[in-house]
Amino acid sequence: MAKKKTKFVCQECGYESAKWMGKCPGCQSFNTMVEEFEQTASSSSRGFVTSGNRQAKPQAITNIESEKEPRIDTTMRELNRVLGGGIVPGSLVLVGGDPGIGKSTLLLQLSAKLANKEQKVLYISGEESVKQTKIRADRLELSSPELYVLAETDISMIERSIDEVNPVAVVIDSIQTVYQEEISSAPGSVAQVRECTATFMKIAKTRGVAIFIVGHVTKQGSIAGPKLLEHMVDSVLYFEGERHHTYRILRAVKNRFGSTNEMGIFEMKELGLEEVLNPSEIFLEDRSQGVAGSIVVASMEGTRPVLVEIQALVSPTSFGNPRRMATGIDHNRVSLLMAVLEKRVGLLLQTQDAYLNVAGGVRLDEPAIDLAVAISIASSFRDRKTSPFDVAIGEIGLTGEIRRVSRIEQRVNEAAKLGFKRMIIPEKNMGGWTAPKGIKIIGVTTVEEALDTALGGN
């Protein structure tokens, strides 16, 4: 007879304690400790099934034959890019995002595209009935005889349905609604989410079925449930964007089968999500030309160069401490660059408020955007216009030098393709490649030299 174990578990971070506490020691949240009763299962019921019920023995890695399994093409180039080339059979993918952002729409479209290739897909909804899912599919004009829909929250019934249909992919919408009868906690609790995810992981690995699970997001912006949930799955995808704007960004924060630097861009339309194959044109379509405090930068998102506009507004402060606000850029990096401009170039910025923004809602993390940030700040401070045909790339050191950046040729080619005429890059990146026709490349070594080049003629 299995014994019942009583414990208190934080519903925010998964911290466990033998007694109740008002404040969780793990995440410092108040009133999140909930009593849970969990039956301790025997060790034989956990883990993966080994062939012939024999214990696996350690093997030398040189003696293991590598088998390259073909990935499943989703026919969605942006999703393939984020996943690392397609869906890996037997993978467990967690998709998170704000409510109403389009997670269910994306996965329903994915299911229909796979089903149209005569591959069985099982879409399991714990939040909608079968008829409601059908209404949503009709609105998106999605239909296929190979797409199976099930409204179920009991994990034992879900596992039985997977065995009956034998699909290549399964969608669970959402993991917070699925429960296991052996655990007395409510659906969505830490214990239920953890155990149900472990069961889905076992199903994916033993049957070779690709499983997508939808995870709710807390008000802090992280996926609800314990952090262990993200460690258990193979890939974690975040669906970002403003609900009242049409563009959505799909970003991988964890991927065992590909890069985590890739991003896919979609546009929400009447018939669902549509891929944006050239995001640079989207981010620059509303750009104002011939104004101070604006410059374009070529940033790398994985293997894709993306051109975005960086805007800066510098104005005298009315308070003792000037304000520094940044959207889409690291706030600490902005403070560092302003200190370099003040020390190495002589700009008196200590009495100025500074507001920076990356147009389009993209977040830029790489240091290659430093030069564009510095030019936009200096342009706004001096009230000098920048050329609408300039692109700036470069990392800035504390001594004011411009340092080399990676993938310079791809950045330059993207700028030339969109019609830019001049590019300011580090001097160290000038050799070893050929610039395309129609664009002038200028190499700079210091911040002062770069500012003279970008603002000197204005």
29-82 pLDDT, tens digit each: 888 888 877 655 444 344 554 444 456 789 898 888 877 778 999 999 999 999
Residue 99 annotated as binding site: yes
What size, in residues, is the chain?
Answer: 458
Query: Was 103 annotated as part of a binding site?
Result: yes
Q: Any binding-site annotation on 98?
A: yes
**Annotation-wise, does 57 bind a ligand?**
no
Q: Where are the beta strands (DSSP E) in 317-394?
A: 324-327, 352-358, 390-392
Which of 21-30, 60-69, 176-185, 207-216 holds the top average pLDDT?
207-216
Of the candidates 379, 423, 373, the one whose C-alpha atom is nearest the C-alpha of residue 396 is 373
**SS3 of residue 301 by DSSP:** strand
Q: Which two tokens stand for residue 273?
A: 């999500």
Cα radius of gyration (the chain): 26
Phi, psi for 86 (deg, rounded to 5): 135, 180
Phi, psi dihedrals of residue 360, rounded to the nearest 5°: 100, -5
Which neighbouring-strand residues pair with 30?
23
Rounded Cα distance between 95 and 256, Å, is: 15
| 167 in a labelled binding site | no
Phi-psi region of 372 (alpha: psi -120 to 50; beta: other; left: phi over 0): alpha
The answer to whether the CB of 272 falls within 8 A of the CB of 252 is no
Residue 221: predicted pLDDT = 58
As a whole number of angstroms, the distance between CA 239 and CA 94 comes to 11
Return the number of other C-beta atoms located less than 10 Å from residue 182's C-beta.
Answer: 13
pLDDT digits (tens, 9 = 90+) for 71-124: 999 999 999 999 999 999 999 999 998 888 899 999 999 999 999 999 999 999
Q: Determine if residue 90 is labeled as part of a ligand binding site.
A: no
Are 252 and 80 a contacting pair, CB within 8 Å?
no
Interval 396-405: pLDDT, tens: 999 999 999 9
> Which pTM does this prediction carry?
0.77
Q: Is 102 annotated as a binding residue?
A: yes
The better pLDDT of the pair 7, 334 is held by 334
Q: Any known ligand binding at 104?
A: yes
Amino acid at residue number 274: E
Place of tokens 């190499």: 443
As beta bridge partners, residue 35 has: 8
